[in-house]
Amino acid sequence: MIKFNVPPHADKAMEYIQECVRNQKICGDGNYTKKCNEWIEKRTGTAKCLLTTSCTHATELAALLLSDLKPGDEVIMPSFTFVSTADAFVLRGAVPVFVDIRPDTMNIDEKLIEAAVTKRTKAIVPVHYAGVACEMDTIMEIADKYHLAVIEDAAQGIMASYKGQALGTIGNFGCFSFHETKNYSMGEGGALLIRDQKDVEEAEIIREKGTNRSKYYRGQIDKYTWMNYGSSYLPSDMNAAYLYAQLEIADDINEARLALWNRYYENLEPLAGAGKVELPVVPEGCVHNAHMFYLKAADLDERTALIAYLKEKGIMSVFHYIPLHTAPAGKRFGRFHGTDRYTTKESERLARLPMYYGLSGDEVDYICDMIKQFYV
Ligand SMILES: *Cc1c(COP(=O)(O)O)cnc(C)c1O
C-alpha cells in the first residue's frame, strides 16, 4: 500500500526532544522555539517570526492584530481553501467574501478582487495553493489603493517564492503550517511571519495572553502585566525540537520533494499531451516547493473512478476542498461575489497523488503506470 502522506521526520528529532526532557525545558518559547524562529527569519527575510500552535492559530493571531476589524467587516478570500482561512475572521464577526479562482493555479483570481471591494472590506487573504504563489503584485496594488491588510495563507508555502520574495513575507502577515501533512512538521504547529517591525510588539502581546511577558524575558522591563486582549499561541518546545531537526535539513527535504514532483510531471506529460488529464501550472516568477502533486480528471465521475482504481492498485489518492461557500457554515457566515465559474467545477476534477519525504522514485513510476493504465 502506498500511503498518501507520511509525516516528515529527521533523524536528530529524538536527540533534540530528549534534550528538552532532560533539561526540563518543555514549555513555550524555549531554546528550540527560538532556533526555529531565527531559522525562518533568516531564510525568508521576514522582520519577525513567531512559532504558534498551528497555522489556524497564526491566522487567528493575524486577525486579532487587525485592530480596526469590526463585526460585519469583509475579508476577501478564495472559496477553494481549507476552513481555517475563513474561521479566523468569522471568529471576529467578519464576513468572508469569496472570489473565484483561476483554473491554472487554483489560486484566487487576482483580476476579480477589485470588483469585490466594498466600503466594509478590511483585508485580502490570498492562499498560495500547493506552494505556488498567487499573483501578489496585483494583490498588493489593490491593497495599497484601498488601504487593506494582506494576510497570506502560506500554510503550504514555506520554501516557495514569488519574484524572489519568500511566500508569507509579502503581505502584512504570513501564516505557515507545520501540521503533519505539510512539508515540515511539528505534529501540530505553525508560524506567524510579521513584515513590519511596528506590528511585532502587539503580536508578542496577543500571543502571550495579552501580556508583555516577552519583553520581560528579554530583560527590557522588570515586571510584566496585562496589556491587551490575547490568547495563548505558544507551542511546547518539544514540538519545536521535532521541527528544528527538519529545518536543519530543509534543503535536502525540499530537493527530494521537487525530484518526486518532476518525476510525476515527466511521467504524466504524455497523458496531458493526449488531452486525458491536466497537470499543475507554475507561472513564471514562482518557485514552488512541491507541496503537492495533483492532476485533474475530466469531471467528478472520472475522478471518483480514478481514485477507486488507484485504491484497488494499492495507491491512496485524495481530493479536496469542498468549496467553502457551498458548506453550511460558508452559507451562514459568508457570501460569494460574482459567479462561480471555476471554484466548484475545478475542485471536483482534482485528485492529489501520494507525496511525502521518503516516497521513492520507483513508487512514483508505479503510480504513474497505474494512472496510464486507467486511461488506456
Ligand atoms: C493546512 C492548512 C491550514 C491549517 O493549518 P493547521 O496548521 O492545521 O492549522 C490552513 N490553510 C491551508 C491552505 C492549509 O493547507
Question: Residue 52: CB within 6 Å of ligand 1?
Answer: no
Q: What pLDDT score was predicted for residue 80? A: 98
For residue 23, how far is its CA from the centre of ligand 1 (angstroms)?
Answer: 32
Question: Residue 343: CB within 6 Å of ligand 1?
Answer: no
Q: What pLDDT score was predicted for residue 94? A: 98
Question: Residue 101: CB within 6 Å of ligand 1?
Answer: no
Contact in structure between 66 and 88 (CB atoms under 8 Å): no
For residue 57, how far is its CA from the centre of ligand 1 (angstroms)?
Answer: 10
Question: Residue 54: CB within 6 Å of ligand 1?
Answer: yes
Q: What pLDDT score was predicted for residue 184? A: 98
Question: Residue 33: CB within 6 Å of ligand 1?
Answer: no
Q: Which protein residue's CA is at the shortest distance from atom 6 of ligand 1?
A: 55
Question: Residue 169: CB within 6 Å of ligand 1?
Answer: no
Chunked in runs of 10, what are the mean pLDDT values of the chain (376 residues)?
97 98 95 98 98 98 96 98 98 98 98 98 98 98 98 98 98 98 98 98 97 92 94 98 98 98 98 98 98 98 98 98 98 98 98 98 98 97
Q: What pLDDT score was predicted for residue 115? A: 98
Question: Residue 317: CB within 6 Å of ligand 1?
Answer: no
Question: Residue 156: CB within 6 Å of ligand 1?
Answer: yes
For residue 50, how far is its CA from the centre of ligand 1 (angstroms)?
Answer: 16
Q: Ligand 1, residues 156, 175, 176: which to mutate, most atoms within 8 A of Cβ?
A: 156
- The pTM (predicted TM-score) of the whole model is 0.98
Tell me which amino acid residue 174 is: G
Task: Using the atom order of ligand 1, give the atom closest to the CA of residue 190.
Answer: 7
Task: Using the atom order of ligand 1, give the atom closest to the CA of residue 188.
Answer: 7
DSSP structure class, residue 149: E
Question: Residue 134: CB within 6 Å of ligand 1?
Answer: no
Q: In 3-state terms, the chain is what percent helix, strand and coil (to 5)?
A: 40, 15, 40
Q: What pLDDT score was predicted for residue 151? A: 98
Contacts of 109 (CB under 8 A, 6+ apart): 99, 100, 101, 102, 342
Q: What pLDDT score was predicted for residue 359? A: 98
Question: Which residue, chain included where needed, has cell 506529460?
Answer: 269
Q: Is the four-CA dihedral 251, 254, 256, 259 of positive or negative sign?
A: negative
- Residues, the chain: 376
Q: Which protein residue's CA is at the shortest distance from atom 8 of ligand 1?
A: 179
- Taking each helix axis from N to C end, the angle separating 237-248 and 13-22, rounded to the nearest 10 degrees, works out to 150
Sheet with 95-99: strands ordered across = 48-52, 190-194, 173-177, 149-153, 121-124, 74-78, 95-99, 335-336
Pairing mode, if any, of strands 190-194 and 173-177? Answer: antiparallel
Pairing mode, if any, of strands 286-287 and 161-162? Answer: antiparallel
For residue 117, how far is its CA from the centre of ligand 1 (angstroms)?
Answer: 25
For residue 282, how far is its CA from the centre of ligand 1 (angstroms)?
Answer: 21
For residue 372, how far is its CA from the centre of ligand 1 (angstroms)?
Answer: 32
